[in-house]
Amino acid sequence: MTVETTAQPRALRTIVATEAFDRFSFYGMITLLPLYLNAELLRPGTIETVLGLGGLQRLLFGSGTPSIIALGSAIYGLYAGTVSIMPLLGGVIGDRLIGARRAVLSGCLIMAAGHALMTQPAYFLVALVLLVTGSGMVRANMAAQVASLYGPDDPRRKGGFGIYLIGLNVGAMAAPLIAGTLGEKIGFDWGFGAAAIAMLVAIGVYVVGWRHLPVDALRRSGGAMRAKLSRRDGQVIGALVLMLLPLILMTAAYNQAFNILLVWAEAKVDRSVFGLTMPVTWFVSIDGALTIIAVAVLTRIWARQARAGRDWSDWRWIALGGTIQVAALLALAWGTWVAGAGQVSIWPVLLFFLLSDIATPMSYTVIQSTFARAAPLAIVAVMMAVFALYDAASQFAVGALGGLYDRLTTVDFWLVHAGVAGLSLVAVAVLRPLIGPLLSPAASAPDVPR
């Protein structure tokens, strides 16, 4: 299935291609991380060699002795959450210091170094610091560049961010098939090395398309932002931050798919397909493929609605996404309950990914598009970094919720996650009348062309 891109700015191609390789490296890392922690790094004989890990364990658990799963889940949540906090710093660097293009290029180089260091267990925490720092510079400024391609009333924006999400998921789909399979079947070093190579390719793609990229606002203004924040801008910023709450709740439940679900599926899910056992990391590839299809379909629906003048409100899409996400998690609970003490069928797991990947663009893409449209011009990259905070909050929650796996039945574990996703519907019902008018397209002030 294809998505029409002829009407989109040419620079979007370079940004999307670069993002695909960037997310290949990220999802290669995030797919292998829980497996690597549980199977190798946190095992006796290796854990003692990791510089600084004892101090981190004391910081997270005090004097207690956590299980390998609990410690691994906490490290996963800390890493994935911090990755989504650092774009705040990356956005400031792009907005105020070196511009978005140089920030992206620098971040890619730092991430390549971090992935390379992942092959050395002793420097595991150093590698994480490099990956977090580099990713922070890339994420905020890539999204800001997409935002800068469209004017305040440009109807292509939602579709542009949909295509951006497709690029992200192309990388997410390919990473487990290549980096995940290499790490799971040959050795973790091979998987981490593949992620490092992907970042080098991302650098090459970005440099080749450099001349097509939007000129940095920093350069256009001679080193100082032209627009200043008004009182209304402050109100919009506050409203946008509140709009993240339903997305945080949905994503906190869904992102367990990349943490405990992989550990659980490796031990408890019958992954036999045509007589062969599917690598557990391939679930992430399936997730990426289904998301691409869902976004392609939704992008066409959005374009058709826009042409007919019957586009749904953002809040309606978000509520529908939350409802579908609850159903996805109930599918996992149901499949586990049916299996009893036996192996869980692969089909409820696949249904979970299908429903989740329909729900994701209804929330993620719609809210990201709202941020791009409504964010004050002076701090576009910073506000796209603020948008990324939804993922930080959700990933910290993923780490905490993952610790319940040892203490609940598996059915109850997934029911708790369904309840967390269900709270997103409550958030939508409360927030829509409070901040909806302030964030409506009619309320967006087209004061300065982007």
pLDDT tens, position by position, 319-366: 999 999 999 999 999 999 999 888 999 999 999 999 999 998 888 888
CB 145 within 8 A of CB 18: no
pLDDT of residue 218: 57
pLDDT of residue 222: 45
Q: In this model, does residue 221 exceed pLDDT 60?
A: no
Cα–Cα distance list, 373 to 159, 368, 439, 440 (Å) = 13, 9, 9, 10
Percent of the chain with pLDDT over 70: 92
Planar angle of CA 172, 176, 181, nearest 5 degrees: 165
| Residue 181 CB contacts under 8 Å (≥ 6 apart), including other chains | 191, 279, 281, 282
- 269-289 pLDDT per residue, tens: 998 877 778 888 788 888 878
pLDDT of residue 356: 94
* Higher pLDDT, residue 145 or 238: 238
Q: Which residues pair with 276 in a beta bridge?
A: 273
Planar angle of CA 31, 191, 276, nearest 5 degrees: 75
Nearest residue to 70 via CA among 403, 421, 415: 403
Amino acid identity at 183: G
Planar angle of CA 139, 21, 8, nearest 5 degrees: 75
Where does the pLDDT of residue 448 fall: very low under 50, low under 70, confident under 90, or very high at 90 and above? very low
| Residue 120 CB contacts under 8 Å (≥ 6 apart), including other chains | 127
Q: In this model, does residue 219 exceed pLDDT 70?
A: no
Where does the pLDDT of residue 413 fall: very low under 50, low under 70, confident under 90, or very high at 90 and above? very high
Helix axes 380-402, 68-85, angle to 10 degrees: 170
Please give the Cα distance from 312 to 227 (Å, whole number). 31
276: left (phi over 0), alpha (psi -120 to 50) or beta: beta
pLDDT of residue 250: 93
Q: For residue 4, count other CB atoms closer than 10 A to its CB.
A: 12
| Residue 251 half-sphere exposure toward CB, CA atoms < 13 A | 27
Q: Which three-class secondary structure string do you get for 153-215?
A: CCCCHHHHHHHHHHHHHHHHHHHHHHHHHHHHHHCHHHHHHHHHHHHHHHHHHHHHCHHHCCC
CB 300 within 8 A of CB 2: no
CA 67 to centroid of chain Cα atoms:
27
Structure tokens at 35: 């497996």
pLDDT of residue 217: 61
Q: Is 138 helix (H, G, I), strand (E, B) or coil?
A: helix
DSSP state of 343: P
pLDDT of residue 248: 92
Region 80-90 average pLDDT: 81
Region 391-404 average pLDDT: 82
pLDDT of residue 381: 66
Per mean pLDDT, which range of 215-219, 353-357, 442-446 is the poorest?
442-446
Percent of the chain with pLDDT over 90: 20
Which position has the token pair 């990426």?
A: 288
Exposure string for 282-291, b = 16+ CB within 10 A, e = fewer: bbbbbbbbbb
423: left (phi over 0), alpha (psi -120 to 50) or beta: alpha
Q: In this model, does residue 195 exceed pLDDT 60?
A: yes
Per mean pLDDT, which range of 52-61, 236-245, 246-255 is the poorest?
52-61
CB 377 within 8 A of CB 447: yes
pLDDT of residue 156: 74
* Higher pLDDT, residue 33 or 413: 413
Please give the Cα distance from 366 to 369 (Å, whole number). 5
* Higher pLDDT, residue 375 or 116: 116
- 132-173 pLDDT per residue, tens: 999 888 877 887 777 777 776 677 776 777 778 777 778 878
Q: In this model, does residue 37 exceed pLDDT 90?
A: no
Most confident of the ranges 36-40, 53-57, 267-271, 310-314: 267-271
Most confident of the ranges 91-100, 291-300, 337-346: 337-346
Please give the Cα distance from 160 to 369 (Å, whole number). 9
Please give the Cα distance from 79 to 58 (Å, whole number). 16
